[in-house]
Structure 1
């Protein structure tokens, strides 16, 4: 009887994931139809932005309102709201993974992130527990996504170079370090210290946290190059101002 119920539950979950996948593909197809002049990546990033905002709101509600608190109750049984959030994200990550592989737009680090996310969500849905910490990880991972997409749109529209682009970059780096490294590290400690989560869940948490450090290394390299370029540009402007000022006095 339990096996039969288990089979029915998994069939229902597979159907929900399929519906969500079709939904994300349909949103993308609609955007390409209505906004085709912008290109495929533009519309895919609009889908990514929409998913990021939606899933952050849903997982924030789960963590702060619906409960339980992920830092004190890891490894607990999945709730309907957690399943909803996980199914939404699994459908999206499957769509985005397929898009990235087809168009070859992402490197191995991002593909590894998508692969771990898909495998982790499937495992959580399969065993029926640890949904709360999975939702917390999704919240921490996706909360920086709107800033990342905003940066890309600013670059494509020629509005990135300036105070707005610098502000977006600064907020992204600060939020990434705080959420993915700081809060994420505390979440991992709670996961490892608790006797409830399965060992495979703990291993998955370690893998996702290590991947966050790989992302951080890439971000720091980018920040170093950008700060260096800004400093060199400032030096050139400063020297140019000195020369112009000197020439003015001679005249």
Structure 2
């Protein structure tokens, strides 16, 4: 490459990196904002499910709703996701709309959004590792393992507790409880798919390790045979 071309490549790289980090910072706000609403501003969704929305909860849900509208439009336009993910986005949009229109259940809705999107950065990291050809490495395995553990703990573990609190809360409306059933069911659908993926990947890794180990043994035996002949 000539000097001018190298300069264009470097400028292009810097430009794309800046654009990527800008999007990361922009869309990360919905996770950070819901985390602040849930853990700092309150009220606590495990004890105050169905209560009246606060101004900050309304603001956080409005930001999240705009993102989900954008994301589902992107998914439909470019066919990047399957029916389960589209159903999750549609249920999220409907749940946020109901919380905003009825003026209640903002605390648990923010909690659900926070739990749902907490693992999203790991999915993005996984995608970038694939594009860079680094996914089949120890780093790729670590990202997948962390994603599975975090998803199981937050979406299924903590999500089960929140789901129970919402169902048993006398303040939560029936329609929001039905929405909770849908979101909790989708979480289990994702969990089953993730479990299958983890099993298949672990099995393939073990099979590959076993084949490599056997190949090393064969090569070692060949080397021993050659050394004995030379003696």
**TM value normalised by structure 1:** 0.80
Q: Select 1:152's aligned residue among 124, 127, 136.
A: 127
Q: Secondary structure at the match of 1:73?
A: coil
Q: Select 1:162's aligned residue among 137, 140, 146.
A: 137
The equivalent of 2:93 in structure 1 is 118
- Determine if the alignment matches structure 1 residue 71 to structure 2 residue 41: no
The equivalent of 1:107 in structure 2 is 82
- Determine if the alignment matches structure 1 residue 132 to structure 2 residue 107: yes
Q: Is the 8 A contact 1:59 1:136 kept in 2?
A: yes
Q: Structure 1's 46 and 160: CA in aligned 2 closer, same or farther, altered over 3 A?
A: farther
Q: Structure 1's 115 and 46: CA in aligned 2 closer, same or farther, altered over 3 A?
A: farther
Matches within 5 A, 1:92-103: 92-103=67-78
1: distance between equivalents of 2:135 and 2:88?
Answer: 26
Aligned alpha-carbon RMSD (Å):
1.8
Equivalent pairs counted in the alignment come to 211
The equivalent of 2:200 in structure 1 is 225
Of residues 224-233 and 186-195 in structure 1, the stretch that sits farther from structure 2 once superposed is 224-233
Deviation at 1:209, TM superposition (A): 0.4
The equivalent of 1:241 in structure 2 is 216
2: distance between equivalents of 1:210 and 1:52?
Answer: 26
Matches within 5 A, 1:22-37: 35=16
2: distance between equivalents of 1:173 and 1:156?
Answer: 21
What are structure 2's unaligned runs of at least 5 residues? 1-14, 227-231
Q: Structure 1's 97 and 137: CA in aligned 2 closer, same or farther, altered over 3 A?
A: same
2: distance between equivalents of 1:154 and 1:189?
Answer: 37
The equivalent of 2:33 in structure 1 is 58
Of residues 55-64 and 235-244 in structure 1, the stretch that sits farther from structure 2 once superposed is 55-64
Matches within 5 A, 1:198-213: 198-213=173-188
Q: Is the 8 A contact 1:52 1:143 kept in 2?
A: no
Q: Select 2:149's aligned residue among 174, 193, 196.
A: 174
1: distance between equivalents of 2:26 and 2:48?
Answer: 26
2: distance between equivalents of 1:156 and 1:222?
Answer: 19
The equivalent of 2:5 in structure 1 is none
Q: Structure 1's 192 and 145: CA in aligned 2 closer, same or farther, altered over 3 A?
A: same
Higher Cα Rg, which structure: 2
Q: Structure 1's 192 and 51: CA in aligned 2 closer, same or farther, altered over 3 A?
A: farther
